[in-house]
Structure 1
Amino acid sequence: MTVISTNKDVDNLTFTIVAEFDAGPEAVWQVWENPRLLERWRGPPTWPATFEKLEFAPGGDARYYMSGPDGEKARGWWKIVSMDAPRRFAFDDGFAGDDGKPLDPDDTTRCEVTLAEDGNVTRMTSVTTFRSAEQLEQMVEMGMEEGTIGAMGQIDAVLADVRVGS
């Protein structure tokens, strides 16, 4: 099923993406908390992610990079700010330098992910909040919407392996 809607709301400085999966919240949670599963979908298909560090707990850090088709690397970081497993978590997200440290600790977004069970389906809602309309527009121009849709389109295959215990 995957992505069912996206919404860019400049007035509220948010970008929301909603996806549905034929799996329970516990399985969908695993594709976030397990770095090897996260790597299989987090980057767009042409920009796969590698997580060098993932402390998936409140106060935990993540360091990752996405590898482009020509060998370039786009680095990023997360700081997990809250968590209610397996239903909700929030993290701050930003760009990182080659050392994995934030380029500008004030140039961040806040992402809140919610997993809600509806029968045999889990609805995953991801709301990213931006500091300014300019930051939101810059990320949209960088391909955030297309990249996120492409990335989330890979989750079904990962979930198929989670269900069979691979």
Structure 2
Amino acid sequence: MPITSVTTDTEAFTLAVVADFTVSVRRLWDAYTDPRQIERFWGPPEYPATFLRHDAAPGGVSNYYMTGPEGDRSAGYWQWVAVEAPHSFEVRDGFAHDDGTPNTDLPSMRMVFEFTETALGSRLTTTTHFGSLEELEQLKAMGMEEGMRAAMGQIDAVVEDLQAFAAGRATEVQLIGDTQARVSRVIRGSLEQVWRAHTDPEIIRRWQLGPDGWSMPVCEFSAEVGQQLRTEWQNDESGERFGFAGVVVDLAAPYRLVTTERMISPQDPEGKASPETLNEMTLTTVEDGTLLAYVITYPDAAVREAVLATGMADGMESSYVRLEQEVLAA
């Protein structure tokens, strides 16, 4: 059990939890800022968490839900206030409705996470600030302390599992609920490099090409909300052509980009017959490079299954390898 002390201050309205680990500060930091990792320990074992969004940057938002043994859900959110990687971050933590909006009927808390180096590895001090003594007592009565003990007891297994989250692993796809999928890949490059590689048309043309023998004659891209996007690929031997069109819905450079997407073809140049997806890209700096996470929302489960069956993940992996070897390494 990593927790070494739990202290309640009824005058300052705080609950402080100290935990020690035999890994580096950087490794522990990555476990909290990588959605694939934090969801393996943020909820107690009986209520595992699923993170739909996790922005490790000031002004960012995290949305998650915990699923109970009977399929019941409890949703929560973070509003990121401050980040000083890899030493501390501060969030406003609260309960949420099923759609992710804050549930103001229950109290929210200010949480400060501090990561420090020790002789044996690292120490995490989590201090929760409540608005009043009544709120502190209410959350403790709801089992907050016991939940934190159970949740943090799972961290050791996560931080020791280095290979599962390292750079060099192939693109991974995780199904979320009935209509979403999360695509994850650690890319060997800085946050700024990877952001430019996904938003600069000239760079996009160099690596988002799919199989050999294809080119991208059309790439219209601008990282501005409301801008129309269009990319078209062509088989240079047969002349076969297809592409995607969409619009920028939201962005926070250089870590978050949200776009819509629908397939286009010479027979359907506007993609009117194609189902539309919502693509949420989040970039997070990790020890080996930049973690790219795409959360894709499909119209329904059937469309998700059909798209994934096309070998989408393999095609994305080929492009990411080209990005690392021919663009970022140049």
Task: With the length of structure 2 as denominator, give the TM-score of the two structures.
Answer: 0.49
Q: Following TM superposition, by how much is the alpha carbon of 1:107 offset from its aligned partner in structure 2, in angstroms?
A: 3.1
Contact 1:27 1:163 in 2 (8 A): no
State the alpha-carbon separation in 1 of the partners of residues 49 and 60 from structure 2.
Answer: 18
* Aligned residue in 2 for 1:55: 55
2:145 and 2:105 map into 1 onto residues whose CA distance is 23
Contact 1:75/1:95 (CA < 8 Å) preserved in 2? yes
Structure 1, gaps ≥5 residues long: none
Instruction: Please give the secondary structure, in 1, of the residue aligned with 2:161.
Output: helix
Higher mean displacement: 112-121 or 82-91 = 112-121
Aligned residues: 166
Residue of structure 2 in register with 1:156 after alignment? 156
CA distance in 2, matches of 1:139, 1:165: 33
Tell me by how many angstroms 1:164 deviates: 7.3
Residue 20 of structure 2 corresponds to 20
Change (3 A) 1:66 1:106: closer
CA-to-aligned-CA distance 1:49-86 (integer Å, 9 cap, x gap): 11011111111100001111221111011001001100
In the alignment, the residues of structure 2 paired with residue 49 and residue 2 of structure 1 have an alpha-carbon distance, to the nearest angstrom, of 20
Task: Determine the C-alpha separation between the residues in 2 that align with 1:136 and 1:88.
Answer: 23
Does 1:89 pair with 2:85?
no
Q: Distance in 2 between matches of 1:111 and 1:100?
A: 19
Structure 2 SS opposite 1:79: strand
For 2:127, the equivalent position in structure 1 comes to 127
What stretches of structure 2 of length at least 5 have no aligned partner?
167-330
Superimposed CA distance per residue, residues 91-147 of structure 1 (whole angstroms, 9 cap, x where no aligned partner): 001110011010119931000000000123201000000001111111101111111
Amino acid at match of 1:23: V
CA drift at 1:26: 0.3
Equivalent residue, structure 2, for 1:111? 111
The higher relative CO (CA closer than 8 Å, separation ≥ 6) is in 1
- 8 Å Cα contact 2:95/2:106 also seen in 1: no
AA matched with 2:99 = D
Amino acid at match of 1:79: Q
Query: Following the alignment from structure 1 to structure 2, what is the Cα–Cα distance between the partners of residues 100 and 163?
Result: 32
Is residue 2:40 matched to residue 1:40? yes
The residue aligned with 2:144 is 144
Is 1:94–1:105's contact at 8 Å kept on the other side of the alignment? no
Distance 1:84 1:145 in 2: 26
Q: Which amino acid aligns with 1:77?
A: Y
Amino acid at match of 2:31: V
Identical amino acids, percent of aligned pairs: 42
CA shift, 1:163, in A, is 6.6
Give TM-score, length-normalised by structure 1.
0.95
Residue by residue over 1:16-65, the C-alpha shift from the partner in whole angstroms, topping out at 9 and shown as x without a partner, is 10000000110000111100100111001111111011111111100001
CA–CA separation in structure 2 for the residues paired with 1:163 and 1:120: 21
Partner SS state of residue 30, structure 1: helix
Letter aligned with residue 44 of structure 2: P
Aligned CA RMSD, in angstroms, stands at 1.6
What residue is the counterpart of 1:70 in the other structure? Answer: 70
Indicate the structure (1 or 2) with the bigger Cα radius of gyration: 2
Change (3 A) 1:105 1:137: closer
